[in-house]
Amino acid sequence: MARKHRHRENGVTKMHTIIGGFEAVFDDLAKLPQVQSVITGVISPNKSEHEELTFQYFTDSGLKLLAKTTDAVQEVFLVAKDKHGALAELRARGHLNERVKSTMSTNKKKQGKKPASGIAGNTPRRDQRYNQNDLPKDKPTTLKDLLSPEQLAKLTEQSNELKEKEKTEQEAKRKAEVDRREKEKKELESNFEYLLNNSKMDWKNFK
């Protein structure tokens, strides 16, 4: 039966009810040398065929797991400096269920999610809030994260060189355009003066 907690105990920050029989598992996870803290997250009314703990993905500060029972699913966050070491230890201890998903589960996903409701299935789902500062925040991986400082510095230098080259080319084009217009202006003035002088000469001939 689930117990409701909102305090820290034995390295486990219990923000919400702990579903199923996972309390002992979370206490064991908190004792791992690679794990600094275990934070229990929100509960959704989704169901699983078995009671199991599965790995979802790495976060900036650790790992995200899902604790699943036949009644509900709960988010669990592990704060760990050595993310891969913590995941390897979880697998070694047999805490994670990484079996291949059945065809039934795949078909359920294709049918789409049902409207959110309470765990019992007949009441509106409550907005279970928690302190956002207590939970690891997911951040997408960028090119900057994948490059070493030397590679990043070289890429920045190349970018600056391209910008400077583009600026020089634009300035050269602008100057060429100014010179072209100036040349056209002088040619027009010269032609006008020539026509004016010829007109005066012709006028004198007709007098």
Give, for all 207 residues of the chain, the pLDDT tens digit: 344 444 444 556 665 667 777 888 888 888 888 888 888 888 888 777 878 888 889 988 888 988 888 888 888 888 888 889 888 888 888 878 766 444 444 555 556 556 555 545 555 555 555 555 556 666 676 766 777 788 878 888 888 999 999 999 999 999 999 999 999 888 888 888 777 777 665 555 555
The 3-state DSSP class for residue 145 equals helix
What whole-number distance in Å separates Cα of residue 99 and Cα of residue 128?
Answer: 30
- 13 phi, psi to nearest 5 deg: -90, 105
The 3-state DSSP class for residue 175 equals helix
pLDDT reported for residue 57: 92
Tens digit of each residue's pLDDT (9 = 90 or more) over 105-146: 455 555 655 655 554 555 555 555 555 555 666 667 676 677
Strand order in the sheet with 35-44: 7-9, 12-14, 35-44, 73-80, 62-68, 52-58
Closest to 13 in 3D by CA, of 163, 111, 134, 189: 134
**Domain residue ranges in the chain:** 7-137, 140-207
What whole-number distance in Å separates Cα of residue 121 and Cα of residue 114?
Answer: 10
pLDDT reported for residue 111: 62
